[in-house]
Amino acid sequence: MREAEKPIGVFDSGVGGISTLAAMTRELPEEDFLYYGDTRNAPYGTKTTEEVLACVRQVVERLMQQGIKALAIACNTATGAAAAALRAELQIPVIGMEPALKPAEEAWQGGSILVMATPLTLKQEKFLNLMDRFGAHAVPMPCPGLMELVEREDSAGAKAYLEKTFGEWDMNRVDAVVLGCTHYVFLKNMIRAMIPEKTLITDGNAGTARQLRRVLADRGLLREGSAGSVRMETSGDPEKWMPVMERLYRKGLEIR
């Protein structure tokens, strides 16, 4: 098989990265994608960096065995924990992601910028460096437990969580909310309904999808011709998780 014809591997600690996968399939509809949700080991965001790296190595080994041409880490936490190591070890391109803090800072109007993310993401050197560059008005907001509500498709629980979180702020004095976890993107419409229309909501999915296109083009790895495909796998119980993943993929295609 020609290198360009091989699939792109995409993974996350669970189902959140499906929102990134959806953005990638919109950007690159001719590509084949293989998504792996490590639901058995979720969440990553409350683990240590060493624990996350160990989980990631197992996932990547499985994806590499299936002949991927590029690896996309659809998880802010896993990017911070493992991207540098994977780039040093693998021959294929590795695309990571980070909270979309730069566009939020560019939209600053004198208020606060709330950065919602997992506890581990907010502690990582990658995020701290991002804060040094674009975080002059940013307030890190650790959100333990929110990712799990998305995994369970618990809309009522997520709504109550968000109402409590935003209730601690005068949202009229907040210029932007940064969704620093791919799971949170599935709550974007819910968040939009809770906060003032003027408040920007940013996430890293579209930017990561564009970066994937650039990297593939630079390496001569863009697939041409017929429409691509999407295949999904999980480390958890397929009977439980595959229907969830398929529902969220359809939902992710509708998110802008």
Q: Which residues are catalytic?
A: 75, 181
Alpha-helical segments (H) within the chain: 18-27, 49-65, 76-89, 101-106, 119-123, 125-134, 146-151, 155-167, 188-194, 205-218, 238-254
SS (H, E, C) 132-179: HHHCCCEEEEECCCHHHHHHCCCHHHHHHHHHHHHHCCCHHHEEEEEE
Q: Are 20 and 12 in contact (CB under 8 A)?
A: yes
Alpha carbon distance 162, 192 (integer Å): 11
Q: Are 9 and 72 in contact (CB under 8 A)?
A: yes
Q: What are the Cα distances from residue 31, in Å, to 92, 94, 113, 152, 245?
A: 16, 16, 35, 29, 19
Structure tokens belonging to residue 216:
């593939």
Q: What are the Cα distances from residue 2, in Å, to 61, 136, 223?
A: 21, 46, 10
Residue 179 Rama label (left phi>0; alpha psi -120 to 50; beta): beta
